[in-house]
Amino acid sequence: MGNLLEHVEDSILSRRLLRRGQRILVAVSGGLDSMVLLHLLQALSEKHGWLLAVAHLNHQLRGRSSHADERLVRRTAERLGLTAIVERADVRAFAYRHKCSIEMAARNLRHAFLARNATHHRIPTVALAHHADDQLELFFLRLLRGSGGEGLAGMKWRNLSPANPKIELVRPLLDLPKRALREHAAEKHVPFREDETNASWDIQRNRIRHELLPLFRKHYQQALDKTVLRLMDILAADAEFVTQAAEAWLDSPRGSTPFEALPVAVQRRCVHLQLLRRGVGPEFDLVERLRLNARDPINVPGLNLLQVARNAAGRLVLQQPEKGLSNLKCRRLNLTGGAGKLRFDGVRLQWRIETKRGVARPKADAEREFFDADKVGSAILVRHWRPGDRFLPIGMAQEVKLQDFFTNQKVPRRQRHELLVAETARGEVFWVEGMRISERFKLTRGTIHRLQWGWLRL
């Protein structure tokens, strides 16, 4: 791609990513992308008066390889005459403690590390090495997860740090393909280390990179990168307009346009923004249930047994569950370990995650079920039934109230509160003890990982 240095300089100046003479914290992992970014910014720093510092967080996930990455970053910073800020983090322990995936734990710790040190050293901007290939992979990752327009729009050239809104993140390489970075590294002899996990097909992003994208480019659209990046730009503009309209409505005095009269896209974004402000993941199904339902409260795991409901005015309210149900037992489980067992309120639970494609399953068992593990997710909640719970029984097209389902199945009232249910981090019930599983989480031909779930009343 011609002169890469000039291209990056033009991107920075035209988009006003960096000001003359400012201090910049460069996030450097030791991989190709961040090492090229560091060398490009260093080459431009004298001309623009930039003062660089290097930040590296050792995730300690790959043993000696992680420590070799750290050594490379330290040596490179020393050779360039730059300050190196290096810390180590126990990502696995953090993921276990906070009941989240390894990827999410690493991301949270990394953003916290960067924001903390930028603040401490009075550096207003952190430079990240995301590039066009990252954007493309992110688009398909989010498309497969059912993200909306804002999610499909991908990363921005500049945005505020999720760990500290006073720190700005910039991405000077966002329109460059990885091929261009690799060519520049070879030409300029930029040292870097390969992360062997990038070749693992157990990671969905890698399967998209090595299998899905080459298939699309070969058989459907040779200019896939160009067309998808153009679509992301269009979606970003549309999403920004909808967000501005939703924020204006939420900030308006009561008595403005009724919630039901808003365009559907604005309704969804109003609910979406309110959930974010309460620290709840705005999954589509939860947003839709709140958008369409101004009556029944919904249990959300992230709210520690509180319930969320939308009132007639379109505002979300938090409330305690029905009297007598607020202290019901519950247990959060992290399924990332691959297998485990638990005793909960008189029931022994066992689970195992297996890599096995398709719908074929062992002979039916009254106390064992199988689910699509990728749809269930890594964090779940096991608890008792609560009024207001909804469920999509396998074979049905629409959700029903679990209370109505119990009535149809002739489950005695005294037994209903004894039965266990399991729900995802999004608040969707996927298993009801002794009943049918959820249609949304059944095995399909597209299943890659399956969750084997067993239970036994003691």
* DSSP annotation of 199: G
Tell me if the pTM is above 0.85: no
For residue 23 the two structure tokens come to: 């201090």
Beta bridge partners of 299: 307
Task: Report the pLDDT value the prediction gives residue 81, as an integer from 0 to 100.
Answer: 95
Q: For residue 158, how far is the Cα from the chain centroid?
A: 19
Q: How far apart are CA 144 and CA 360, in angstroms?
A: 23
- The CB density around residue 432, as the number of other CB atoms within 10 Å, is 22
Instruction: Look at residue 313 and give its three-state secondary structure.
Output: coil
- Tens-digit pLDDT profile for residues 89-104: 998 888 877 767 788 8
Nearest 5°: the CA angle 436, 439, 443 is 95
H or E, element range at 272: helix 264-277
Q: How far apart are CA 41 and CA 449, in angstroms?
A: 42
Cβ atoms of residues 162 and 168 within 8 Å: no
Question: pLDDT grade, residue 340 (50/70/90)?
Answer: confident
Question: pLDDT grade, residue 337 (50/70/90)?
Answer: low
- Tens-digit pLDDT profile for residues 154-195: 999 999 998 898 999 999 999 999 999 999 999 999 999 987
Percentage, residues of the chain above pLDDT 70: 90
Q: How far apart are CA 326 and CA 321, in angstroms?
A: 5
Question: pLDDT grade, residue 48 (50/70/90)?
Answer: very high
Strand 83-88 relative to strand 316-319, pairing: unpaired
Task: Report the pLDDT value the prediction gives residue 40, as an integer from 0 to 100.
Answer: 97
Cβ atoms of residues 87 and 54 within 8 Å: no
Cβ atoms of residues 17 and 158 within 8 Å: yes
DSSP character string of 46-113: HHHT-EEEEEEEE---STHHHHHHHHHHHHHHHHHT-EEEEEE--HHHHHHHHT--HHHHHHHHHHHH
Backbone angles phi, psi at 310, to 5 degrees: -105, 130
Task: Report the pLDDT value the prediction gives residue 324, as an integer from 0 to 100.
Answer: 45
- Whether the predicted pLDDT of 238 surpasses 80: yes
DSSP character string of 156-180: -SEEE-SS-TTSEEE-TTTTS-HHH
165-174, 212-221, 376-385: which range is least confident on average?
A: 376-385
